[in-house]
Amino acid sequence: MSTQQIGTREVSEDEIAVHWKEESYFEPGPEFIKQANLSDPNVRKRFALENFPECFTEYADLLTWDRRWDTTLDTSDPPFWKWFVGGKLNASFNCIDRHLAANKNKAAVIFVPEPEAMATEAITYQDLYVRVNEMAALLRDFAGLKAGDRVTLHLPMVPELPITMLACARIGVVHSEVFGGFSGEACGVRVADSGSRVMITMDGYYRNGKLLDHKVNADIAVETAAKEGQHVEKVLVWKRHPDRYSSTTAMVAGRDHFVNEVLDDYRGQKVAPLAMDSTAPLFLMYTSGTTGRPKGCQHGTGGYLSYVAGTSKYIQDIHPEDVYWCMADIGWITGHSYIVYGPLAVGATSVIYEGVPTYPDAGRAWRIAERLDVNIFHTSPTTIRMLRRAGPLEPAKYQYHFKHMTTVGEPIEPEVWRWFYHVVGKDEAVIVDTWWQTETGGFLCSTIPALERMKPGSAGPGLPGIYPVIFDEQGKEMPAGSGRAGNICIRNPWPGIMQTIWGDPARMVKTYYAKYCKNLESKSWSDWPYFAGDGAMLAEDGYFRVLGRVDDVINVAGHRLGTKEIESACLTVEEVAEAAVVPVVDEIRGRAPEVYVSLKPGIEATPDIPAKVVHAIETTIGKIGRPRDVRIVPDMPKTRSGKIMRRVLAAISNSMDVGDITTLANPDVVEQIRVQVQGQEKFVTRDGPEDIKQFGQQE
């Protein structure tokens, strides 16, 4: 069990009271309630535990099945739950073909390029159908891909990304999209892990006013994958501008092909959607975890698609006439579930914006909303903070009206929530604060928008059919209103939960279930609570407030980065002997990594070393991992057994009490580092946020 220091007393984690003021509620408006998809006050009864798992057939019934399932939930091999077993369906058919009869002329996707002078492109369901079919034919006949093969995508926020995803889904190919902002190396590691023979990328894309060379990353990715033992046969390159090449890197003969050119051979071709088993994998999404290597979360077809369709309809409240804009990147799970699969499964119009929300100025997002008449707006606290800083009064200048807004990815400060509500939402929009993860496929905690009051800073109760619980370190349930934080878990399986970790099922059991499963032989789902790895507390009213990660993952701008991955990047710098990465509170990004390095014997601390460290992080992970600071220290604070005490460094970086350090092997270095970071004068320590207090406690 972990302990920490409060004042001079050592206390166990479950004793730590969280000081947090209760916020007052906000009510959904009558206009919203009148039109809501989910307004039946009995919904929670329908999804009561005694109706589990059958309650989830309501979600599965939103889809079109080629064959209906025989077994709703198969628990014979815990915790590898199988949903809607015996059923057959195709995700691309469900997101496209079935909407054609009534809605072929409706926009499925509206693409907004970052340069404001470039025209917005509306892609109708009919257009999408044609383009996905042609791409599916190319993937099958030119790339030689077949059902079950994996293919890595490294595509930016352009319509070619959902087109490629849906083309894969059409023929049962498992796509693994790597966030476009990740470096070539990070992409290559994921290519190798997934065993992809084919990579699909784009030559360039616009970001912050510049046309970035993106193809260059594919060359690095292929090289990295080769080092890891994976040969990439084909690199398929979409052109950002079909009439020209937007990269300076050479196309490698025999390996690299322009998709736009090869497609000419497939014009007008149709590929019948393959009826896939409900349990067939649909995609992989890599995420950071407690050890260095990213985990390929494998999501299935029937369960996943049912869950994202159901939650898009009832929690996002998407109706056919709505214009829905989620500002996340499709390269993250939010984009997969709530830009592509969920919204298209329910026949929505989904907006895709290529670039930065504040480019070229603070009004951009609101101009897009006004122009397209967006009425459902989905974003993250980091983006909200950024928009608020760039133009606090900007939204009022534009004539848009949101009925519904979503926040996701990190805890939102009540202050920021209120700005979102009053200024962005103009006191009209209902807000859902949705807590979930890459692993969970879809939302887990949120209020039901028309039925439940909002409370700033709290996600809300479990969704219908989701039963969260907070356990202390011993596995004892912490009751509502205890005022203490513990580990949030989910008691029951749900259709969106990932199927396994690609290539490493043992890690699935170890990471998410071993902690609280009392009997690893049990076939009963109730013995297998899902451990999410987040600290949270449960208020009297049944609302969960999520505090942040309890493991060594740093949530930067809503994206999980593994500290070990960043540390290994630092160690590639020749002069560096040891590296430790800790989270610091960042006004915009929520948390940012801060790096401490010690140097090899005899090496001088020169100013170029931090620059080299930053460069190493940017090349192995991407700009998203850029540290706030790189500090060269004489030595790392260590335990007698030689472990680096990251919690001490995190305390120093955040001006918090370093706690008891008398048991360290080198306690003196702590004061040296403190002075180096905070300056000579006696520093006033403050009470830091819970996730930072807990950081490094497991060491």
Residue whose C-alpha is closest to residue 405's, from 32, 23, 25, 22 = 32
Number of residues near ligand WTA (by CB under 6 A): 23
Stretch of 168-176, 428-436, 584-592, 642-650 contacting ligand WTA, by CB under 6 A = 428-436
Contact status: 435 vs ligand WTA (CB under 6 A): yes
Amino acid at the residue 585:
V
The least distance separating ligand WTA from the CB of residue 337, rounded to whole angstroms, comes to 8
Among 246, 278, 334, 349, binds ligand WTA (CB under 6 A): 334
Stretch of 80-88, 270-278, 479-487, 545-553 contacting ligand WTA, by CB under 6 A = 545-553
Contact status: 438 vs ligand WTA (CB under 6 A): yes
Q: Which is nearer to ligand WTA, 4 or 440 (CB)?
A: 440
The least distance separating ligand WTA from the CB of residue 303, rounded to whole angstroms, comes to 17
Measured N-to-C along each axis, helices 215-227 and 184-194 cross at an angle, to the nearest 10 degrees, of 50
Q: Which is nearer to ligand WTA, 247 or 437 (CB)?
A: 437
Residue whose C-alpha is closest to residue 301's, from 171, 408, 206 = 171
Residue whose C-alpha is closest to residue 305's, from 334, 337, 274 = 337
Q: Which is nearer to ligand WTA, 388 or 560 (CB)?
A: 560
Q: Which is nearer to ligand WTA, 69 or 531 (CB)?
A: 531
46 neighbors 265 (Cβ within 8 angstroms): no
35 neighbors 404 (Cβ within 8 angstroms): no
* Binding map of ligand WTA across residues 583-602, x = CB under 6 A, - = no contact: --------------------
Among 97, 185, 472, 534, binds ligand WTA (CB under 6 A): 534
Stretch of 50-58, 216-224, 409-417, 602-610 contacting ligand WTA, by CB under 6 A = 409-417
281 neighbors 304 (Cβ within 8 angstroms): no
The least distance separating ligand WTA from the CB of residue 622, rounded to whole angstroms, comes to 15
Strand partners, 376: 324, 404
SS (H, E, C) 325-367: EECCCCCCHHHHHHHHHHHHHCCCEEEEECCCCCCCCCCHHHH
CB atoms within 10 A of CB 473: 14
Among 460, 548, 593, 688, binds ligand WTA (CB under 6 A): 548
Q: Which is nearer to ligand WTA, 16 or 444 (CB)?
A: 444
Q: Which is nearer to ligand WTA, 225 or 448 (CB)?
A: 448
Instruction: Quickly list DSSP for 376-408.
Output: EEEE-HHHHHHHHHH-TTGGGGS----SEEEEE
Among 546, 573, 658, 670, binds ligand WTA (CB under 6 A): 546
What 3-state class would DSSP assign to 242?
coil
Stretch of 14-22, 298-306, 433-441, 584-592 contacting ligand WTA, by CB under 6 A = 433-441
Stretch of 301-309, 394-402, 406-414, 625-633 contacting ligand WTA, by CB under 6 A = 406-414
Residue 407 sits at φ, ψ, to 5 deg, of -120, 145
Q: In what helix (H) or strand (E) does residue 521 lie, and over which residues does it extend?
A: none
14 neighbors 695 (Cβ within 8 angstroms): no
Strand partners, 545: 537
Backbone φ/ψ region at 17: left (φ over 0), alpha (ψ -120 to 50), beta: beta
Among 114, 433, 565, 567, binds ligand WTA (CB under 6 A): 433
Among 14, 410, 565, 575, binds ligand WTA (CB under 6 A): 410
Q: Which is nearer to ligand WTA, 199 or 459 (CB)?
A: 459
CA distance 577 to 598: 6
Q: Which is nearer to ligand WTA, 317 or 394 (CB)?
A: 317
Residues in region 130-189 near ligand WTA by CB under 6 A? none
Contact status: 560 vs ligand WTA (CB under 6 A): yes
Distances (CA, A) of 313 to 36, 170, 317, 345, 654: 9, 23, 5, 10, 41
Residue 56 sits at φ, ψ, to 5 deg, of -75, -5
Among 89, 158, 459, 656, binds ligand WTA (CB under 6 A): 459
b/e sequence 322-361, b meaning 16+ C-beta within 10 Å: bbbbbbbbbbbbbbbbbbbbbbbbbbbbbbbbbbbbbbee
CA distance 585 to 546: 16
Q: Which is nearer to ligand WTA, 133 or 380 (CB)?
A: 380
Residues in region 623-652 near ligand WTA by CB under 6 A? none
Among 181, 347, 409, 583, binds ligand WTA (CB under 6 A): 409
Contact status: 447 vs ligand WTA (CB under 6 A): no
Contact status: 190 vs ligand WTA (CB under 6 A): no
Q: Which is nearer to ligand WTA, 278 or 555 (CB)?
A: 555
The least distance separating ligand WTA from the CB of residue 329, rounded to whole angstroms, comes to 11
151 neighbors 198 (Cβ within 8 angstroms): yes
350 neighbors 324 (Cβ within 8 angstroms): yes
CA distance 639 to 608: 30
Contact status: 411 vs ligand WTA (CB under 6 A): yes
Contact status: 298 vs ligand WTA (CB under 6 A): no
Residues in region 496-515 near ligand WTA by CB under 6 A? none
Among 212, 376, 408, 430, binds ligand WTA (CB under 6 A): 408
Q: Which is nearer to ligand WTA, 585 or 603 (CB)?
A: 585
CA distance 273 to 264: 21
Nearest to ligand WTA by Cβ — which residue?
438
Residue ranges binding ligand WTA (CB under 6 A): 287, 332-334, 408-411, 433-438, 459, 532, 534, 546, 548-549, 555, 559-560
